[in-house]
């Protein structure tokens, strides 16, 4: 069965098949240049990757959407980044200390987002950036942790992620991380939900196709947290995971769950070499 026939079979009865194009375009040839820096949006896939070449989701977006990410002044996510800067300098909790009191300028965290999720020896598992932020808030500031999708958390992850913009994704794949990446890979290929679908069926088997107005990308995660028009605001990677599961009528795992962290780890390894774009803009 051809990829397009497979996709038609997969989406039959979902309301999506009516917009499925017969021959969807692949990624465009545009280059992503922000503040004079050219970001890597296309790279040869890592060894043993199911794809030959991997592309940032930016390459699948319309010219209008791409233009918003190119210009920091126009990027709607930069409002959250400004809020993140305010939070960075604001004392909080029983310690009455701010993030800046310990870390100095936020650019001291350059490279951190590119390594996420990162192994936490004390916890015995990898942590997403949100986990690390909440640990620092409770441990060092003596303050209450932020909710995963709160304005504060999204602003801080956008601010910290921005410090790594242009750096390649380089998540650790050896040692104890290997088991978590393998677990995430299994989740990626496991069919779930009423529609009996898996991540790979859209982002590996049918990337480049059109489903209604959506141009399917390879599902790379180098731009999160991302501003999505569908959300009218910023959202975390785990929110995107949850939304995908709801679309196929599956019960989503909780944000910050072991399942979503494992999936994040696998996708970070799957997108190795692509530049961090945080905060990206998508439809």
Distance CA 223, CA 63 (A): 17
Output the CA–CA distances (angstroms, integers) from residue 250 to 120, 230, 243, in the order listed: 30, 20, 10
Please identify which residue in the block is written with the tokens 């280059």: 31
Please report the beta strands in 122-172, taking only residues with DSSP state E, as ranges in sequence order. 125-127
Judge whether 244 counts as a catalytic residue. Answer: yes
Output the CA–CA distances (angstroms, integers) from residue 141 to 103, 106, 253, in the order listed: 13, 16, 29
What are the respective helix, strand and coil percentages of the chain, to the nearest 5?
A: 40, 15, 45
Whether the link from the prior residue into 225 is cis, omega within 30° of 0, is yes
Q: Which residues are catalytic?
A: 244
């Amino acid at each position: 069965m051809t990829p397009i026939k497979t996709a038609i079979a997969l989406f039959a009865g979902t309301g999506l098949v009516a917009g499925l194009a017969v021959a969807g375009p692949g990624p465009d040839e545009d280059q992503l240049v922000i503040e004079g820096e050219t970001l890597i949006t296309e790279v040869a896939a890592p060894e043993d990757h199911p794809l030959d070449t991997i592309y940032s989701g930016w390459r699948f977006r319309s010219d209008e959407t791409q233009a918003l990410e190119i210009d920091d002044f126009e990027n709607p996510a930069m409002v959250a980044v400004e809020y993140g800067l305010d939070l960075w300098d604001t004392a909080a909790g029983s310690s009455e200390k701010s993030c800046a009191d310990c870390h100095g300028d936020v650019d001291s965290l350059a490279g951190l987002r590119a390594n996420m999720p990162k192994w936490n020896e004390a916890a015995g598992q990898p942590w997403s950036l949100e986990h690390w932020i909440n640990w620092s808030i409770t441990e060092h500031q003596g303050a209450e942790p932020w909710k995963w999708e709160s304005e504060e958390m999204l602003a801080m992850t956008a601010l910290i992620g921005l410090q790594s913009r242009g750096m390649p994704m380089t998540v650790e794949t050896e040692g104890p991380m290997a088991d978590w990446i393998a677990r995430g890979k299994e989740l990626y290929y496991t069919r779930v939900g009423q529609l009996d679908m898996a991540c790979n069926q859209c982002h590996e088997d049918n990337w480049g196709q059109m489903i209604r107005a959506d141009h399917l990308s390879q599902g790379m995660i180098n731009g999160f947290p991302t501003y999505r028009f569908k959300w009218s605001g910023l959202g975390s990677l785990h929110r995107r995971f949850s939304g995908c599961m709801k679309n196929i009528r599956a019960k989503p795992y909780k944000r910050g769950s072991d399942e979503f962290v494992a999936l994040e780890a696998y996708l970070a390894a799957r997108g190795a070499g692509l530049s961090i774009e945080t905060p990206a803009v998508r439809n």
